[in-house]
């Protein structure tokens, strides 16, 4: 039993190094808060959540002038011991809300108990994510109500949040207000509230609620994707994708805008369709992860300007005609229910800002995932979709533009083209002598010339996807089938029966089993036009930025993840640079949405950076046309051909 | 033509007396803003709204050392002259946004051009209302958009509001965001936005929109009332009332709560019913005044705690059982659409705070209308409905309580009782000698003993309302028919056939033509119980406040407006005081809602006062029972009987 006489003890926290003299009898958690050391806690010191576990560093620490001893903390009581055993905590750990300081002690706060810890990044991600979500679960316990005190129940909750969580001046969502009294009585005066931005109670649950969830949405013209995250640790619990059903109103963005222009009022319909898809995806990821939709308290969203506007219920008509004005170029933070989005009814949707009429919140997501504005190196970041969004710059100046590549890189407008899906050719090699091809198909590990290939493909080879057509044309060029000006050389028909005349032009037959899959002259022209647009955009930005080479190239998007940098360079999609400096950024727009979900600081950061970035409108630049024409040819580069 | 050389001129504004030296060429409106003189304007200086009209004071003003001359302002241009003629303005008036200062001048800002002018009060209202609504229309004009500038249209509107209206850091409602681009193009780059609390754009219209409207709602257990106001001048444009259709779930509040308790989930239904009624009333007042519902941008609401909770979608169950806890005792400020209320979709609903479990936002409305907390005199304010809400105090201390009078004062639980409606007896006189009655009926100017009375009543006499029963019993007492203990004196049957035996007790027959209308012994007992509860509550608060008399008595509510103070005092409903000090406050709760609608400063004021007011729970005070029993008898007061 500790002495009841209060005196001071020296307490040191690691890894922060914060230290101070603390009155004995104080809990480690209180001491930490007093010294500005963040220790995680949901229950606010009720030994219910187990998140405030700490280790004692035993022994003399000359640097701190302290002889730290584990028994300078109060002995673990029943509650604490039971909890630590029950939750399978490491032996020796203590609950900082229950362990009282009785003498000098050095306390280590393990990573798992730190509030602003980092989420381990995926291999293609550019940086770690700080975990600091906008919504925080706070457990409070009230005394039963007293008829002699007139305060409303909400006011008693506010008082408890002030006392236990130092949260002041809070408001409360209508929905939480409606559920409060029931939750209090169900939880026997213990509840957990979800507090957003330290400002508003958005939701309430009876008893202790430890896990809250968020969902990051990436709305593309073609596909819509959702990632469900645990806001406690940043874990990605489930992800799912769906085709964007707006495709029935038009394959590409501009045809959807045309549809709206000729069918006034139909923007409602397109908004409803996209919101319904988002709701279906939320339901899907929640079901896959075994999470209640009501426990999802925050949503973030990226998308191109037209998708972002439609999701917000804003007609995209003005984005389809000059001068291509965004209704709003700032972020939007709005209750999800206002958008008919089904998460917790008090939850919010944060939609990242658009950059310009043709450069959307998806590019803001890419910026956030890649943070070129924090690097000294000169970055070129390309997000290839129906259009290519291009970022060039570094911490000093960053430029953004959109270049009208059209959908050829996605396999559209290609004779045998298809989306990247099982059955699509994605890798191509052509023998320099025999001009015979071999290829790989999505969904199969074997090359087409390996034994068992045919049997491994139940539906055969169905087409060629974006990365496949890039490789095919680059290999055709390297094998001499395609000339630098893009023409398929008919004289090569003498060397191989795969080069076939079609009127005055020729095509190259990749496969001719159940389906004939060939690269036609028109396919080469389509890819030339697309890559010229991309390259011209990149060169325009580099020129504006005043650089003639970049230090690193990042390909974002699904196409970017598939593409082989080597072939991108052969075709002249990107400027010449060290091949090792070219890499995939994965679905960086989606990663950006996830960062905005997990780290509240990312929001003002990207809002400020989006304002700072210099917007280049390629359409209004006369030099763009010259660059575009010049970029049509396949460059004569001194490129090592290792497939010879 | 004025000289183009800039120099200073002395400008004096009345009635503020503000003065200063202004560079010539400055408009009067700019000069006023520079000197801190508020002149009204919607169009922000575009000569479109005509609200900034001023007069020039001609002649020497020795006090100001100025020789003011009308021709020291620039001559009225075409725009200004046309506008002033077209709008029928007084001759000599100038538009301050167009008149430029060219020499010394004294400017009078007439009341109609002042921003924070006062609304003329109604005769029963306690004080004037400052006109300073939370929503302000702001006209802005943009330049057509430029493809070279990437700003969104909303950001261009924000910039114009910063420039022309000094409004910074604004947000925008989703709905206004959705309508913005269309409004800008329809209005040829001129729009009016509704800005709420200098913080949020809640709505947008193409072109100039001068008039915005608000609606104040008073939700009673029995009736629901709406007042539609012009936010430009505070005018009450239309008002309407409806029965509260919740009556089908229970006549009084507690039976409605019981209904919900025994039908879980039915609180939804009761909320829907009350919200639908509010929507119907809004539609009705809007139609009566020829106002578009979309032009109503703000709603305020008062109601007792149960009605307030149900309107907010909060179950009132906890208000129906000890310890009678409000879910929330603060005001609620929420988008009206969250409550399914149909005004402009960006508009808000402000619900006044409740005071305690039995003292609601309606009493907060009464407080705001009466402002006893700003007076030196000791006020007693009584709002008699199904319960009586009582306020006692002055600027030093104010106390509030609710007393369970039951609905007898509203004519319920009275044998011939009915609500105050045409056909109901509201005034009664009894001849002291013959014991013959005469009475007045709602909807007829004649007394019952005057010629033509019977013909003036198509449906005859239908019953007796709250004020009628008070007068009847008081007159019966004064005529000796009722004894001090409340017993109807059977021996008086010898004097008049109007006193009729009914078993062991007697009744007094007021009328017996097509319907028999009498005051029974049970009616007297019901009124005795009600008035005893009221009187006991008043005495308890006076005792707590440490006073044995009050300086003024105000009766709020429909019943309060009808009641004759003389008879209220005869029966002992209120403590003895000078009859002249007793008056009606009209529907003070509704007036409070209207004040909160018209004057934004009223909101923090009432929120603070509601926190300050001392809440007395009569049910938990043992002395209340004693006071209650003691208040049953009719007091032996030395009361001048002028009906003898």
Span A70-78, average pLDDT: 87
Beta bridge partners of A322: none
B2 within domain boundaries = no
Please spell the DSSP secondary structure of A370-381, one letter per residue: H-GGG-SSPEEE
pLDDT of B642 > 70? The answer is no
The Cα A573–Cα B478 span in angstroms is 105
Q: Any chain A CB within 8 A of the CB of B533?
A: no
Q: With pLDDT > 70 as the criterion, what percentage of chain B qualifies? A: 97
The Cα B445–Cα B56 span in angstroms is 51
Tell me the per-residue pLDDT of A397-416, one tens digit each, with 9 for 90 and over: 999 999 988 888 888 889 99
The confidence score (pLDDT) of residue B4 equals 56
Contacts with A, B 594-623, CB within 8 Å: 615, 617, 619-620
Span A472-481, average pLDDT: 96
The confidence score (pLDDT) of residue A560 equals 79
The confidence score (pLDDT) of residue A395 equals 97
Q: Are B393 and B609 in contact (CB under 8 A)?
A: no
Tokens of A403: 């270049």
A635 within domain boundaries = no
Contact list, A322 vs chain B (CB under 8 Å): 147
The confidence score (pLDDT) of residue B641 equals 67
The confidence score (pLDDT) of residue A85 equals 61
CATH code for the domain in which residue B317 is found: 3.30.420.480
With CB atoms and an 8 Å threshold, state whether B323 touches A154: no
Residue indicated by tokens 């929640």:
A286
The upper half-sphere exposure of residue B83, i.e. CA atoms within 13 Å in the direction of its Cβ, equals 21
Name residues whose C-beta falls within 8 Å of residue B429's C-beta, 6 or more positions apart in sequence. Answer: B437, B438, B439, B447, B471, B475, B643
* Residues A391, A539 within the same domain: yes
Q: Are B390 and B402 in contact (CB under 8 A)?
A: yes
* Residues B539, B570 within the same domain: yes
Contact list, B341 vs chain A (CB under 8 Å): none
Q: Any chain A CB within 8 A of the CB of B300?
A: no
The Cα A91–Cα B568 span in angstroms is 78
Contact list, A331 vs chain B (CB under 8 Å): none
The SS3 of residue A16 is coil
The confidence score (pLDDT) of residue A1 equals 43
Q: Are A510 and A464 in contact (CB under 8 A)?
A: yes
Chain B: residue whose CA lies nearest to A145: B323
Q: Any chain B CB within 8 A of the CB of A155?
A: yes
* Residues B27, B161 within the same domain: no
The SS3 of residue A128 is coil
DSSP state of B169: S
A74 within domain boundaries = yes
Which parts of B313-376 fold into alpha helices (H)?
A: 361-370
Contact list, B172 vs chain A (CB under 8 Å): 328
* Residues A537, A482 within the same domain: no
The Cα A160–Cα A226 span in angstroms is 36
Confidence of residue B85 (pLDDT cuts 50, 70, 90): low
Residue in B154, B182, B323 closest to A146 by CB: B323
Mean pLDDT of chain B: 91
* Residues A499, A562 within the same domain: no
The Cα A315–Cα B491 span in angstroms is 84
Q: Are B330 and B607 in contact (CB under 8 A)?
A: yes
The residue among B142, B147, B148, B150 with the most chain A CBs within 10 A of its CB, best to mutate, is: B150
pLDDT of A174 > 90? The answer is yes
With CB atoms and an 8 Å threshold, state whether A327 touches B145: no
Q: Are B147 and A323 in contact (CB under 8 A)?
A: yes
With CB atoms and an 8 Å threshold, state whether B152 touches A330: yes
Name residues whose C-beta falls within 8 Å of residue B363's C-beta, 6 or more positions apart in sequence. Answer: B355, B383, B389, B391, B400, B402, B589
Q: How far is B134 from chain A (nearest CA, A)?
A: 19
Assign 3-state DSSP to chain A and report helix, strand, coil percentages, each to 5.
Answer: 35, 25, 40
ipTM confidence score: 0.88
The SS3 of residue A86 is helix
Tell me the per-residue pLDDT of A36-62, one tens digit each, with 9 for 90 and over: 888 888 887 887 888 888 989 888 888
The Cα A163–Cα B618 span in angstroms is 31
A51 within domain boundaries = yes
Q: Are A633 and A487 in contact (CB under 8 A)?
A: no
Q: With pLDDT > 90 as the criterion, what percentage of chain B qualifies? A: 70
A598-612, B375-389, B555-569: which is most confident: A598-612
pLDDT of A188 > 60? The answer is yes
With CB atoms and an 8 Å threshold, state whether A617 touches B312: no
* Residues A447, A516 within the same domain: yes
The Cα A274–Cα A256 span in angstroms is 13
The Cα A145–Cα A150 span in angstroms is 9
Residue indicated by tokens 């080879």:
A461
Contact list, A363 vs chain B (CB under 8 Å): none
The SS3 of residue B604 is helix
The confidence score (pLDDT) of residue A359 equals 94
Residue indicated by tokens 């699904």:
A558
Helix and strand tally (H, E) in chain A? 15, 31
B416 within domain boundaries = yes
Q: How far is B428 from chain A (nearest CA, A)?
A: 41
Residue B296 vs residues A107, B110, B208, B378, B471: alpha-carbon distances, Å = 60, 27, 16, 39, 42
Q: Any chain A CB within 8 A of the CB of B88?
A: no
* Residues A414, A522 within the same domain: yes
Tell me the per-residue pLDDT of B515-536, one tens digit each, with 9 for 90 and over: 899 999 999 999 999 999 999 9
Residue in A148, A152, A620 closest to B328 by CB: A152
The confidence score (pLDDT) of residue B89 equals 52
Which parts of B335-421 fold into alpha helices (H)?
A: 361-370
Beta bridge partners of B414: none
The Cα B387–Cα B409 span in angstroms is 9
Beta bridge partners of B348: B298, B335
* Residues B184, B41 within the same domain: no
User: Among residues B152, B184, B206, which one ends one of the domains?
Assistant: B206
- Max intra-chain CA distance, chain A: 102
Q: How far is B74 from chain A (nearest CA, A)?
A: 40
Confidence of residue B638 (pLDDT cuts 50, 70, 90): low
Assign 3-state DSSP to chain B and report helix, strand, coil percentages, each to 5.
Answer: 35, 25, 40
Q: Any chain A CB within 8 A of the CB of B401?
A: no
pLDDT of A89 > 60? The answer is no
- In chain B, how many domains are there? 5
The SS3 of residue B225 is strand
CATH code for the domain in which residue B158 is found: 3.10.20.880
Tell me the per-residue pLDDT of A415-424, one tens digit each, with 9 for 90 and over: 999 988 889 9
User: Among residues A63, A79, A113, which one ends one of the domains?
Assistant: A113
- Max intra-chain CA distance, chain B: 102
The SS3 of residue B419 is coil
Name residues whose C-beta falls within 8 Å of residue A226's C-beta, 6 or more positions apart in sequence. Answer: A215, A216, A217, A218, A239, A240, A241, A278, A281, A282, A284, A285
Contact list, B147 vs chain A (CB under 8 Å): 322-324, 617, 619-620
Q: Are A370 and A585 in contact (CB under 8 A)?
A: yes
Span A258-284, average pLDDT: 96
Residue in B174, B332, B338 closest to A313 by CB: B174
DSSP state of B90: P
Lowest mean pLDDT among A136-150, A576-590, B87-101, B616-630: B87-101
CATH code for the domain in which residue B88 is found: 3.10.20.30
Separation of CA A397 from chain center? 23
Which parts of B136-246 fold into alpha helices (H)?
A: 153-165, 174-186
Contact list, A324 vs chain B (CB under 8 Å): 147
DSSP state of B70: G
CATH code for the domain in which residue B583 is found: 3.30.420
The confidence score (pLDDT) of residue A644 equals 44
A629 within domain boundaries = no
* Residues A421, A512 within the same domain: yes
A32 within domain boundaries = yes
Name residues whose C-beta falls within 8 Å of residue B631's C-beta, 6 or more positions apart in sequence. Answer: B531, B532, B533, B535, B536, B539, B572
User: Among residues A174, A206, A238, which one ends one of the domains?
Assistant: A206
Q: In terms of DSSP bridges, do strands B552-556 and B516-520 run parallel, antiparallel, or are they unpaired?
A: unpaired
* Residues A429, A522 within the same domain: yes
Q: Any chain A CB within 8 A of the CB of B265?
A: no
Q: In 3D, which of B459, B458, B461, B435 has the Cα closest to residue B448? A: B461
Q: How many CB pairs under 8 A join A and B?
A: 130
Span A65-87, average pLDDT: 79
Triad B63, B68, B69: Cα angle to 5°: 165
Q: Which domain holds residue A517?
A: 408-526
Residue indicated by tokens 């059977």:
B490
Q: How many residues does chain B have?
A: 644
Tell me the per-residue pLDDT of B575-613, one tens digit each, with 9 for 90 and over: 988 889 999 999 999 999 999 999 999 999 999 999 999
* Residues A579, A440 within the same domain: no
Contact list, B317 vs chain A (CB under 8 Å): 181
* Residues A522, A535 within the same domain: no
Contact list, B152 vs chain A (CB under 8 Å): 325-330, 354
Contacts with A, B 325-384, CB within 8 Å: 325-330, 332, 334, 338-339, 354-357
Residue in B174, B323, B619 closest to A312 by CB: B174
Residue indicated by tokens 């209904």:
B259
Q: Any chain A CB within 8 A of the CB of B318?
A: yes
Sign of CA dihedral A526, A532, A534, A537: negative
A644 within domain boundaries = no
Q: In terms of DSSP bridges, do strands A505-512 and A516-520 run parallel, antiparallel, or are they unpaired?
A: antiparallel
Chain B: residue whose CA lies nearest to A178: B314
DSSP state of A319: G
Contacts with A, B 170-189, CB within 8 Å: 172, 174, 177-178, 180-182
Which parts of A102-252 fold into alpha helices (H)?
A: 153-165, 174-186
Separation of CA A341 from chain center? 19
With CB atoms and an 8 Å threshold, state whether A329 touches B151: yes
């Amino acid at each position: 039993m500790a002495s009841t006489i209060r005196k001071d003890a020296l307490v040191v926290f690691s890894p922060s190094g914060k230290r101070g003299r603390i009155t004995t009898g104080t809990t480690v958690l209180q001491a930490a808060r007093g010294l500005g050391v963040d220790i995680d806690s949901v229950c606010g010191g009720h030994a219910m959540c187990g998140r405030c576990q700490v280790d004692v560093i035993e022994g003399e620490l000359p640097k701190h002038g302290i002889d730290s001893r584990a028994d300078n903390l109060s002995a673990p009581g029943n509650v604490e011991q039971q909890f630590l055993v029950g939750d399978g905590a490491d032996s020796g750990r203590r609950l900082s809300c229950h362990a009282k300081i009785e003498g000098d002690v050095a306390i280590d706060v393990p990573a798992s108990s730190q509030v602003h810890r980092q989420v381990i990044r995926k291999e293609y991600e550019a940086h770690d994510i700080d975990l600091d979500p906008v919504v925080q679960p706070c457990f409070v316990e009230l005394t039963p109500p007293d008829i002699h005190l007139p305060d409303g129940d909400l006011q008693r909750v506010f008082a408890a949040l002030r006392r236990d969580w130092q949260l002041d001046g809070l408001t409360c969502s209508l929905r939480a207000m409606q559920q409060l009294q029931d939750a209090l009585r169900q939880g026997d005066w213990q509840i957990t509230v979800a507090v957003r931005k330290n400002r508003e109670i958005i939701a309430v649950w009876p008893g202790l609620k430890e896990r809250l969830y968020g969902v990051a949405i990436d709305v593309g013209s073609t596909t819509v994707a959702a990632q469900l995250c645990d806001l406690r640790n940043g874990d990605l619990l489930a992800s799912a994708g769906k085709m964007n059903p707006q495709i029935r109103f038009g394959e590409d963005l501009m045809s959807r805008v045309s549809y709206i222009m000729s069918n006034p009022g139909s923007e409602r319909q397109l908004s409803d369709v996209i919101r319904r898809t988002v709701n279906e995806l939320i339901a899907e990821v929640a079901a896959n992860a075994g999470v209640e939709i009501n426990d999802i308290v925050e949503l973030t969203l990226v998308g191109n300007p037209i998708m972002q506007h439609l999701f917000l219920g804003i007609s995209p008509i003005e984005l389809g005609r000059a001068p291509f004005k965004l209704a709003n170029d700032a972020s939007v933070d709005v209750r999800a229910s206002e958008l008919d989005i089904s998460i917790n009814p008090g939850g919010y949707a944060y939609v990242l800002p658009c950059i310009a009429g043709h450069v959307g919140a998806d590019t803001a997501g890419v910026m956030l995932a890649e943070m070129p504005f924090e690097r000294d190196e000169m970055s070129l970041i390309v997000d290839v979709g129906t259009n290519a969004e291009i970022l060039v710059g570094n911490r000093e100046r960053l430029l953004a533009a959109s270049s009208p590549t059209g959908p050829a890189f996605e396999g559209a407008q290609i004779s045998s083209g298809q989306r990247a899906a099982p059955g699509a050719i994605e890798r191509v090699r052509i023998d320099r002598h025999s001009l015979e091809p071999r290829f790989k198909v999505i969904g199969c590990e074997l090359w087409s010339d390996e034994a068992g290939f045919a049997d491994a493909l139940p539906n055969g080879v169905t087409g060629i996807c974006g990365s496949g057509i890039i490789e095919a044309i680059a290999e055709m060029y390297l094998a001499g089938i395609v000339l630098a000006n893009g023409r398929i050389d008919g004289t090569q028909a003498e060397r191989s029966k795969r080069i076939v005349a079609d009127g005055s032009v020729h095509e190259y037959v990749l496969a001719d089993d159940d389906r004939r899959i060939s690269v036609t002259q028109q396919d080469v022209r389509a890819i030339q036009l697309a890559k010229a647009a991309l390259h011209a955009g990149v060169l325009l930005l580099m020129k504006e930025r005043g650089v003639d080479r970049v230090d690193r190239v990042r390909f974002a998007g699904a196409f970017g993840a598939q593409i082989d940098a080597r072939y991108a360079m052969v075709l002249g999609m990107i400027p010449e640079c060290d091949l090792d400096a070219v890499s995939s950024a994965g679905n960086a727009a989606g990663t950006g949405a996830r960062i905005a979900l997990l780290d509240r600081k990312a929001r003002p950061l990207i809002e400020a950076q989006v304002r700072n970035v210099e917007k280049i409108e390629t359409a209004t630049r006369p030099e763009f046309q010259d660059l575009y024409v010049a970029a049509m040819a396949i460059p004569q580069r001194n490129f090592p051909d290792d497939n010879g």
